[in-house]
Structure 1
Amino acid sequence: MSDTTFVNSGELKLVSPLSTALGFSKIIDDIASSAAERELTHRLPYDEIATLKAHGFGALRLPAGLEGQALTLSELLTVARDVAAADSNIAHAFRNHLWQVEAALRRQDHPFHAHVLALTSQKKTVGLSFTETDAPAAGARPSRVLSRLEWDETRQVYLGSGDKVYATGNLYNDAFIGLAVESRAGKTVQYVLARSDGVSSDDDWQGFGQRLTGSGTAKFRAVTVPAAHVYPQDPPRPDEAAPWGYTFHQVYLTNCIAGIARRIALDAVEVLRARKRNFYHGEAEHPAEEPVLQALLGRIRAYAASIEATADRAVGALQRAWDTYGTSDEYAATLAATLAASEAKVVIDDLAPQIASWLIDLGSGSVVSRVGALDRHWRNIKVIASHNPRLYKESLLGQHLLNGRLPPTGAFF
């Protein structure tokens, strides 16, 4: 990425120059200032997400003709990391929408994807109703949520029902997309479903971190889908096309953790400045003058900067893969992006929880109060990192070096 959070003075900034130029600085600052309060009171960020949507965060990749800013993928992830530094819940809640925008930009000549882009240009966000992800048996494939769209001849609309668990962001989304079997022809179709009285999202997510992402159960009860919003499936990609189409998901989550790492470094400065008493066996009168604590602050800064640099490497590889889409270089670039995403996850999932723990070491007993909600950083990192476990990434990376084994192609690697 071209933007750096360290300016010439050495000061660490929450917001990148790019976000400031786009007019997001105050919005992100406001989100950051209220993040601890939301965590403590479990106040869902409806207002904050609505503000980001109104300012076009969900449409940043769209061209100007569609009310977007025509950002590159790397630039989008720069702004998303700023949002994650302010509140990782909010950045995470946008992931599924932003992925749909990526897919639609590649296939915008298809009416389904054109519809997604049209909704996005209206500053709406699109969630998922693709799969019910709690498959009951080991190795079983997840089932479709709205497995069938039944044609209602009287009302001239389709009807469908179903539940989706782990519906991240669906509390805040304006529309939902998915796959279903259309009852009249018996063929699988894609649909776009507007939020209506038949759609509800329960705040029943029980994770110990990322508590405000809207990752509970989304329920669809006799929802209606107009015939005009039901589309044929995408045509299959050519055999020579790169099969690793889901690297965006992993890079986005790793990018969120990089944002948390930045926030930890910023909070560490405030924690040390706010400490009033040093240990009786310390070497300085005030904690901020204590060499041991200054060194720990320096370590936190260095690790946070290294985490961001590692994430930048994966983001750069993903950008190169995007740039080669549909060309003879696509396969190699997309494979490289998937491997870089795996490498970044292995490293960052290890380092980020460490600096979250060092933050507590830096503040000692003065920061363990729930009031500051500093424990959220470790909890949020671990919950994000639990997506697509790094153990399998480590195994794949080793096997790739040894015998050239290729990564899996599914969305959940």
Structure 2
Amino acid sequence: MSTSSSSSDDAKPSAASPSNASLTSSLSDTLGLSPLIERIARGAAEREFAQRLPHEEIAELKAAGFGALRLAVEAGGKGTSLTDLFTVARDIAAADSNIAHAFRNHLFQVEAALRRADHPFHAKVLALAGAHKTVGLSFTVTDSPAAGARPTRVLSRLEWNDARGSYTGSGVKVYATGNLYNDAFVGTAIESREGKTVQYVLDRGPGVGNEDDWQGFGQRATGSGTATFESVTVPASQTYPPDTPDREGAAPWKFTFHQVYLTNCIAGIVRRIAFDAVEVLRGRGRNFYHGENAHPAEEAVLQAQLGRIRAYAASIEATIDRTIAALQRAWDAIGTDAEYDAVLAASLSAAEAKIVVDDLAPQVASWLIDLGSGSAVSRRAGLDRHWRNIKVIASHNPRLYKERFLGQNRLEGRLPPTGAFF
């Protein structure tokens, strides 16, 4: 199912505005998600002001099947393309980037599972997604400052418990994005009976704790605090052999999805800025005494600023659309002779998009405040959240390293790293 582009030019007309601007795409209309997304958007600023976590909104998106969009209809999904998934995710990010961000780890696990659906571990992940549940992570914590250090396991060992007929394990994960809202958690560990590495699925239950102690100045409601796992129970039936190397595919760049997803979230925020900018300008009641018109909306300089915001927002969406198309081609090429080149091209495109979007998006957020002047700095209005959220998302993977790499790639042909930041 691929019925819509995520470009703002394809967004549905808004009855409240004579322009063609809209917060959601026609695809979200087709999937029946637009009313929910628009309701999420209306409450975003107030949630930010009240510091209320979006438990209800995320639960509604789960129930509506957002976390299962990529699954076949008969498996509980909608059979959408990868491109369509990013379209809807951007709509949600435009409504509330915290909520879109909180689904990232789950959606990546679903993508990984779709590639290897016959493996029992991945089949379990898909079954959870089809039941409209979401999975989080209980591994990948980097505890070494050394360059090139790889993540370590959170549940480093699963101890067999004869009395229970199951395993138990403990660990702590910091920056556990989305885990506050997830129903299950996945990871790898060493099991005690044979000393083998296993993959596991851990259901939320006794011993699973989440602290809302994330101190970022943006993306405050992503559930990115500390996750604790204290003597948690993992049934033997939910431990699985690890994937074998020959199942990993021909191309080693497996984490481009993460990077594209975050940049897509920023593009959603910028769409929201362009949407808010119209209301900010219309809502200004007074002009400065040295203005040229009685009403700010009639000021040519402010109309030009609105036009600049619109143009940059459209360009940012077009930039990420180019990268999403590259990632879709990479997905389509898996298992073919074209896989290596297509996956490499997607990784390079993701780096290019990140550099451009991370540079331009904060400027657009600042222009929104310029447009509204003193009328735009109310804490309750929360317009500053756009800049803060953009910068926090961008900081997950600093663009400076991407700039250096792209230069080295062009000069020397150096290939991208293969870890989770590319």
Q: TM-score, normalised by structure 2?
A: 0.96
1:33 lines up with 2:36 in the alignment: no
Check the 8 A contact 2:134/2:184 in 1, yes or no: yes
Aligned to 2:241: 232
Q: Distance in 2 between matches of 1:138 and 1:242?
A: 23
Q: Which residue of 2, 6, 25 maps to 2:5? A: 2
**Equivalent-residue separation in structure 1 for 2:52 and 2:247 (angstroms):** 47
Aligned mate of 2:189, from 166, 180, 187: 180
Instruction: Indicate yes or no: 2:283 matched with 1:274.
Output: yes
Structure 2 counterpart of 1:133: 142
1:46 counterpart = 2:55? yes
Q: Give the structure 2 partner of residue 163 of structure 1.
A: 172
Aligned to 1:288: 297
Q: Structure 1: how far apart are the matches of 2:389 and 2:24? A: 20
Q: Does 1:86 align with 2:95?
A: yes
| Structure 1 residues 137-177: Cα deviation after superposition (integer angstroms, max 9, x where no partner) | 56543321000000001110000000000000000000000
- Contact in 2 for aligned 1:133/1:166 (Cα 8 Å): no
Matched, 1:203 2:208: no
Does residue 363 of the first structure (1) align with residue 366 of the second (2)?
no
Would the aligned equivalents of 1:189 and 1:231 in 2 still touch at CA under 8 Å?
Answer: yes
SS in 1 for 2:372: helix
The 3-state SS of whatever aligns with 1:131 is: strand
CA contact (8 A) 2:256 2:346 kept: yes
- Alpha-carbon distance between aligned partners in 2 of 1:237 and 1:209, rounded to the nearest angstrom: 40
Change (3 A) 1:136 1:107: same
Describe the superposition over 1:327-359 as per-residue Cα deviations: whole angstroms up to 9, x where unpaired.
Answer: 110000000000000000000000000000000
C-alpha change, 1:387 and 1:41, in structure 2 (3 Å) is: same
| 1:113 partnered with 2:113 | no
Figure out how many residues of one structure are paired with residues of the other and give that number: 413
SS in 2 for 1:371: coil
What displacement does 1:319 show?
Answer: 0.3
CA shift digits 1:229-279 (9 cap, x unpaired):
000000113697000010000000000000000000000000000001111
Q: Is the deviation greater in 231-240 or in 329-338?
A: 231-240
Mapped contact 1:275–1:288 kept (Cα < 8 A) = yes
Contact 1:133 1:164 (C-alpha < 8 Å) held by counterparts: no
Structure 2 distance, partners of 1:239, 1:115, is 18
Which amino acid counterpart does residue 405 of structure 1 have in structure 2?
R
Q: Distance in 2 between matches of 1:132 and 1:36?
A: 32
Paired with 2:249 and 2:116, the residues of 1 have a C-alpha distance of 17
* 1:221 aligned counterpart, secondary structure: strand
The equivalent of 1:304 in structure 2 is: 313
Please, which of 222, 228, 237 is the counterpart of residue 213 of structure 1?
222
Shift of 1:136: 5.6
SS at match of 2:181: coil
Take 1:305 and 1:396, find their aligned partners in 2: how far apart are those partners? 27
| Partner Cα separation in structure 1 for residue 368 and residue 6 of structure 2 | 25
Q: Distance in 1 between matches of 2:36 and 2:162?
A: 47
Q: Contact conserved, 1:101 with 1:117, CA < 8 A, in 2?
A: yes
- Mapped partners of 1:228, 1:391: distance in 2: 44
- 8 Å contact from structure 1 (residues 45, 212) kept in 2: yes
Distance 2:249 2:255 in 1: 17
Structure 1 position 403, deviation (Å): 1.5
Call closer, same or farther: CA 1:272–1:134 in 2, change over 3 Å: farther
Aligned counterparts, 1:236-247, within 5 A = 236-237=245-246, 241-247=250-256
Whole-Å Cα distance in 2 between the matches of residues 139 and 332 of structure 1? 25
For 1:220 and 1:237, locate their aligned partners in 2 and report how far apart those are by CA, in whole Å: 32
Pick from 12, 20, 23: which aligns with 2:29? 20
Aligned residue identity for 2:139: F
Compute the RMSD of aligned alpha carbons.
Answer: 1.3
User: Is the Cα–Cα contact under 8 Å of residues 160 and 220 in structure 1 kept in the other structure?
Assistant: yes
Q: State the Cα distance separating 1:66 from its structure 2 match.
A: 0.4
Residues 1:358 and 1:183: Cα distance change in structure 2 (over 3 Å): same
| Offset from partner CA, 1:1-33 (integer Å, 9 cap, x none) | 624323587521101000011000110011000
Alpha carbons 1:135, 1:143 under 8 Å: kept: no
Give, in angstroms, the shift of residue 83 of structure 1: 0.1
1:4 partner letter: S
- For residue 262 of structure 2, what is the amino acid of its counterpart? L
CA distance in structure 2 between the partners assigned to 1:239 and 1:149 by the alignment: 25
Contact conserved, 1:272 with 1:288, CA < 8 A, in 2? yes
Distance 2:213 2:130 in 1: 31
Contact preservation (8 Å) 2:7, 2:318: no
Q: Which amino acid aligns with 1:24?
A: L
CA distance in 2, matches of 1:207, 1:266: 25
Say if 1:217 and 1:70 are closer, same or farther in 2 by CA, change over 3 A.
Answer: same
Q: Aligned partners of 1:205 and 1:239: how far apart in 2?
A: 33
- 1:389 deviation in Å? 1.0
Which amino acid in 1 is paired with 2:7?
T
Secondary structure (helix, strand or coil) at the match of 2:199 reads: strand
Instruction: Show the counterpart of 2:326.
Output: 317
Which residue, out of 251, 255, 260, partners 2:260?
251
Task: Verify the 8 A CA contact 1:134 1:165 in the aligned structure 2.
Answer: no
**Structure 1: 5+ residue runs without aligned partners?**
none
Shift of 1:133: 3.1
Are the counterparts in 1 of residues 157 and 192 from structure 2 also a CA contact under 8 Å?
A: yes
Please give the alpha-carbon distance, in whole angstroms, between the structure 1 residues aligned to 2:248 and 2:134: 32
Q: Which digits, 9 at most, give the CA deviation of each residue in 1:269-313, with x for residues without a partner?
A: 000000011111111110000000000000000000000000100
Deviation digits for residues 166-221 of structure 1 (CA, Å, limit 9, x no counterpart): 00000000000000001011111100000002101100000000000000000000
What are the ranges of 5 or more consecutive residues in structure 2 without an aligned counterpart? none
